[in-house]
Every structure is written in C-alpha cells, then in structure tokens.
Amino acid sequence: MREFVQIHRPDILILMETKVEFKSVEMFFNCMGLIAFTHVDPTGRGGDIWMIWNPNVVNVQIVEASSQLITTTISKQEFPDWLLSAIYVSPNNNKRDELWEHLEAMSQNMTEPSLVAGDFNDFSTLNEKWSFTRNIT
C-alpha cells in the first residue's frame, strides 16, 4: 500500500472489506499525507468502507453514509464539483434491493457528474460465480 501511494499519489483512496479496525492503521495513512477520512464500520463479517483523502489537494464533503455506501461531493481547484459514491452492496437480497432503490431515487435528483464504484456483490453470468460445490470449466 505504501508503494502504491508513493508511486501513484492518489488524492482519494477507497478500501473495502479490510478485516481490520480503521483506528489501528490511521497513522499509517497519515504518514503518507492521507489525513482526512470517513469510514463505515463492518456489519457482521464484512462490509466496511474506508474513504481516505489528502485535504491539501481535494475537498471531500460527506453527503451520506450508511452500511452500504458513502456518498461525497468532491471539489478540486479548477475542476467542476462531482459526486462520488463508494458502494459495498450487502450479499443479503433485501438489503441489496433497498440500496438499488435508493441509488435509483438518488439519480433522479443528480445534476452534477457522478461516479458510483465499489463491490456490487453481483455477477452477470453463472460462469462468474465460483463455489466449492460447483466446478466451473
């Protein structure tokens, strides 16, 4: 991670399903200049979302945070503002459906450019699904 940040110098970094508490690594990111953050704690065995950024380069305002998403407004000098939604969709079908309905409702009111990215916990074909009980050829 340190090498990635040193080489690519991201303004914003989003991590999911880290399996560690954010407070245990906060100083690690601070030492690399990524000193502002928001995070959604995991529910059960997964689902945490971390958004970490360099406030000297980019301004991030939290619009909404829930167990499945963090939506922010991103502002950077000489660029138009835009929305960024970091998504971790629950594998639970009911919660997944709730999020899709919420995203659809949100999209009806969007006027600025936006990006929705993350782990959608979905697959487009059965060939993408892997399990111990089914061999895929």
Name the CATH code of domain 2-128 (choices 3.60.10.10, 3.90.1580.10, 3.90.180.10, 2.70.180.20): 3.60.10.10
Which residues does residue 64 pair with via DSSP β-bridges, in sequence order? 71
Task: Tell me the CB-side half-sphere exposure of residue 14, using CA atoms within 13 A.
Answer: 18
- pLDDT class of 131 with cuts at 50, 70, 90: low
pLDDT value for 129? 65
pLDDT value for 43? 64
pLDDT in tens, 3-50: 999 999 999 999 988 888 888 888 899 998 898 888 887 666 566 899
pLDDT in tens, 72-128: 999 999 999 999 999 998 888 888 899 999 999 999 988 999 999 998 877 777 776
Among candidate residues 68, 46, 48, 50, the one with its CA nearest the CA of residue 12 = 50
Instruction: Say how far apart CA 128 and CA 85 lie, in whole Å.
Output: 24
pLDDT value for 24? 86
> What's the pTM value of the predicted model, to 2 decimals?
0.81
